[in-house]
Each structure stands twice: as C-alpha cells, then as structure tokens.
Amino acid sequence: MSEKPAQDKLWGGRFSEPTDQFVEAFTASVGFDQRLYRHDIEGSRAHARMLARVGVISDAECEQIQQGLGEILAQIEAGDFHWSVSLEDVHMNVEARLIERIGDVGKKLHTGRSRNDQVATDIRLYLREAIDGILAEIRRLQQGLLDLAEREAQTVMPGFTHLQTAQPVTFGHHMMAWFEMLERDHARLVDCRRRVNVMPLGSAALAGTPYPLDRHYTAELLGFERISDNSLDAVSDRDFAIEFCAAGALIMTHLSRFSEELILWASAQFGFVDLPDRFCTGSSIMPQKKNPDVPELVRGKTGRVNGNLVAMLTLMKAQPLAYNKDNQEDKEPLFDTVDTLAGSLRAFADMVPHIQVRAEAMEAAARGGFATATDLADYLVSKGMAFRDAHEVVGRAVRLGVETGRDLSQMGLEELQQFSSMIQDDVFQVLTLQGSVAARNLHGGTAPVQVRERIREARARLASGV
C-alpha cells in the first residue's frame, strides 16, 4: 500500500514533508496570475476537445470537463471563487476545483501537457487579446488627432528646434507628426502580434509527449496562426513578451513627448492650448492653479514601462533551457505594461479631441524669433544668390532686428535693401506667416492644403483597416 503524500498538492507524491509556509507564500503566483483565468479555461477546453478527438479521453468525459470548466468560469466571474495560495497559481486552482466538481475525470485533463506549456499558452492568449485592445486605443487616439489637425489645419504656430523658434508651421501639421509616431507604433504591435500568435501547447514540460496529440486542431480551436516548432524553445521563450514590452516602451516614450509639449503649451508662458478641466486638477493652496495632471502622469508612467522592459531582458539574460522558476517573474512587468499602456492611451484618446487651441497666442509667438528668416534666405536664392551668401545677408538683417526689437516683416523695404539690392517689393509675400507656411508645399509639407490631403489619406487608410 502506497504512503499518503505529505502534503495536499497535485504534485505532492514525491515529497515527504509539506512546503514551508513562508516558501509556499513566497513561491505562489496566484495573487497576480489569476487574471489569466479566462485564457487558462479557454486553453483547457480546447485541450480537452483535442484529447477526445484523438481518443485519449471519451466524448462523455470531454463533456463533463467542458461543463465543469464552464461552471468554474461562471463562479470566478461572479466573484464566488476562492483562490488558494497553497495551490500556487491559477492553473492548479482551476484544476483542483475541476477535480472537486467532477471527480476523477477532472484528473485526466492534464494528460499530454505540463504547466510549462500551459502557462506559455495562457500568456500568449492573454497578450494577443491585450494587443488587440491597445491597437484599438491607438486608432482611437489617431482619429482624435485627425479631427484636431483638420480643425486647425490653417492655425499657424512656431515650429521649434532646440526649443527655439525655427520656422512657422501649422498646428495641424504638428498634430500629424504625432499621428505618424503612432502609426509606427501601430505597425510594430501588429508585427509583434504575429509572433505572439504561435501555440506552444503540446510541448509539455520540455520534450513533447508520447500521446497522439493533434496540435493543429488545438491551434485552430484557439485561433493561433501556427504551432511552435521546438518544444525546448516553446516552453522557455519569452521573446514575444519582451518584444511587446519594447513596443510598449516606445509608445509610452512617444506619449511622454506629446505630454511634454502639452505641458509646455498649456503653461502661462506659452498659452498655446487649453486642456479640458476634467483632465486637470487644482492646487490645495493656490486657487488659480490648473495642473495638467494627465499629461504629467503619463510622462511619469513612461519610466515604469521602460523599467519593465529592462526587468524582462534581465530576467531572461542568463537562463539555460528550458523552463525555470525565474519565468514566474515575467507576469508582473508584462501585466503592468499592458495596464499602463492601455490606461495612458485611453486618457489621451479621451482628452485630445477636446483640446482648445489659442490661435492668437500661437500666431503672436510665431511672429517673434524671426521665424521667417529661412524664407528670406530662400527668397534670395530664388533671385540668383548662392545660399551661403543669402545666409550671411539674412543673418545681418536679423542682427538689426535684434538690436531694434523688430521682426523682419516689420522692417521697411529700404531697410532690407541695405543688406541686398536683390530684395524687392515681393519679399513681403514670404515674410508673412501664411506665405511662409504655404511656400513649403511638398508632400509632407506645412501648407494647409497638404495637411488636409494627408488627413484624407490617413482617414482612408484607417477606414480600410490597413
């Protein structure tokens, strides 16, 4: 007669004494991996159907498992499920409850699989769904940017390099720059999703299984594009999660840059935009304050997402094949990246369409800083002057403007002609802000007509689902 296991674990037969109470709590992951419950049950249901298909379990046993798992799912979603730390993780909690509900048939569910390929499958199912949600939020934010860009396609603002006034652009053109950054983010995530959507189930612990599993059938049930090709790699691979965290870090870096500009623009020193009150807070001591908390918080949260990427890379850097307990530590940084990214994108998608632009303040700022100096140089080049000579001429004109406190457009023709006789009456067409903006009308240029054309192209692409 066999001895009774020293502990009530589904794997406890090998052990002669129970797990230390502290170690049990220290090694448990159910506190955070329980969010995988839907994906764990989905994977188990598909696995059971496949086992019945290949004759490892009977159709009747499969139906019992399906019913039991459905009841457990309903119990979890109703908030009536007790998660046990002693059962370590989401997988063992669900399996133990299944055995409790349907008896020995429940013990057959784990045939032909290991927690190693089970958790790898669960994470991929979870991340695939999360990516789809994040892609939708990116598109929603892009739609908001297109609406704002179209509304402000003719609003002139100063363009900056080194945070110094450079050349006039339009606010619509600036918003389309943000759109392009998000377009690359969207493409990266779509590409990442392809590598997420590979099924490791059937790899078992590390070396496959002798059962006649139909992995392609399981993959079809779960919506995976293909199955993994190497069992060792399949159970230990976390490249897909690292890649997602890298894409997430880039998205958050872009949102942080957007945030920085909004924070500057909303300040009294710039006064370019007004953020909706519902996305701002006040001060406990200064009644006049309207703090841009959402952009500031998104800018701050970028650090934790970047940190999650470093944590994931460090986690994997020295692991031998195949699965190691270290990999339990992949979930918290991954989950945090998903949550932070989804929340930040949602906040921006909700906020951006309601940004109010202060066009007069932008135009006044664009009139300062000699924003049309390059246009004057290009004008002289069009008259036949070499660019380096034109650069010198305009530099001397700017020096006069600095000394007298006037913009180039505020100087008279005779004053400008002292720097070059090539300057004629038509110079004032390029020294106006609208003239300057309209002159740069190549594809991707600042001219309102080009901005609107780009918006139309972008709307068509988003509508087509590309």
Catalytic residue numbers?
162, 283
Angle between helices 448-464 and 171-196 (to 10 degrees): 20
For residue 426, the tally of other CB atoms under 10 A from its CB is 10
Which three-class secondary structure string do you get for the chain?
Answer: CCCCCCCCCCCHHHCCCCCCHHHHHHHCCHHHHHHHHHHHHHHHHHHHHHHHHCCCCCHHHHHHHHHHHHHHHHHHHCCCCCCCHHHCCHHHHHHHHHHHHHHHHHHHCCCCCCHHHHHHHHHHHHHHHHHHHHHHHHHHHHHHHHHHHHHCCCCEEEEEECCEEEEEEEHHHHHHHHHHHHHHHHHHHHHHHHHHCEECCCCCCCCCCCCCCCHHHHHHHHCCCEECCCHHHHHHCCHHHHHHHHHHHHHHHHHHHHHHHHHHHHCCCCCCEECCHHHCECCCCCCCCCECHHHHHHHHHHHHHHHHHHHHHHHHCCCCCCCCHHHHHHHHHHHHHHHHHHHHHHHHHHHHHHCEECHHHHHHHHHCCCCCHHHHHHHHHHCCCCHHHHHHHHHHHHHHHHHHCCCHHHCCHHHHHCCCCCCCCCHHHHHCHHHHHHHCCCCCCCCHHHHHHHHHHHHHHHHHCC
Half-sphere exposure of 466 (CA within 13 A, CB side): 6
Cα distances (angstroms) measured from residue 126 to each of 19, 42, 144, 200, 247: 30, 11, 28, 14, 17
